[in-house]
Amino acid sequence: MSSLLHKYFSEMDINISWYKKSSYESITKLSNEFDELRNIISKCEQCVLYKTRNKTVFGSGPSNSKIMIIGEAPGKDEDEQGEPFIGRAGKLLDAFLQSIDLSRDKVFITNTVKCRPPDNRNPSTDELNQCSSFLTSQINTVKPKVLILLGKVAANNLLDNDSSMSDLRQKKLFIDNYDIPVVVFYHPAYILRSPLKKSEVWEDLKYLNNILEENVC
């Protein structure tokens, strides 16, 4: 974690550890922590992306969700409105979730970086590294039962490898230091560009549904 982020957390008196308290107290605590973290991210200037962003995109969904979805980076629509997956790719993601009886309001959705890279390019290594503490804080706070990584950028970054999508799909994986099942899924934006992959998506959805039944239901 960067010294700047340490300073932010210290000044805001943020504790991202999980507390075994009553359900009401825990949810209230998580909500407060998320509000504080959202405020920190909104002011972040740790990488060059802050110079071109309109809004930071913190994420959306319950702070105590059992399912967490992590994409690559905000796009044009997300940058303008400050919410993740609200464009065409977001609508397709909603359709994927609905096909296995999941609704968006039951999952927490975020990205590896919180600002849009210019021209929708892939985030650089430095940008991913600078945002990694924010993402780690979100994972630690939500404590999901299952992590869903959308696309190669998010998967390679979180899993710390350079594997292809074909090597990552339909496998139960794990991130270092976390005992949370990870499922890698095609990014919806890629499916919009490659509609012939839709048959593979259905197989991936069936595999994901099995993982969710084992770990969430």
Note the pLDDT tens digit of each residue in 114-127.
999 999 999 999 99
The mean per-residue pLDDT over the stretch 25-39 comes to 71
The pLDDT confidence band at residue 177, using thresholds 50, 70 and 90, is confident
Which pLDDT score is estimated for 29?
A: 59
Task: Quickly count: other Cβ atoms within 10 Å of residue 198's Cβ.
Answer: 11
Q: 85 phi and psi, to 5 degrees?
A: 50, 60
pTM: 0.86
The pLDDT of residue 176:
87
Every domain of the chain and the residues it spans:
3-215
Please state, in angstroms and rounded to a whole number, the distance separating the CA atoms of residues 32 and 63. Answer: 10
What's the whole-number mean pLDDT along residues 15-22? 40
Taking residues 101-114, report their average pLDDT: 96
Gap between the terminal Cα atoms of the chain:
34
Does the pLDDT of residue 180 top 70, yes or no? Answer: yes
The alpha carbon of residue 68 and the mean position of all alpha carbons in its chain are separated, in whole angstroms, by 6
Distance CA 159, CA 196 (A): 27
For 89-98, what is the mean pLDDT? 95
What pLDDT does 113 receive?
A: 98
Q: How many CA atoms lie within 13 A of 52 on its CB side?
A: 13
Average pLDDT over residues 180-193: 96
3-215 CATH pick, 3.30.930.10, 3.40.190.10, 3.40.50.1360, 3.40.470.10: 3.40.470.10
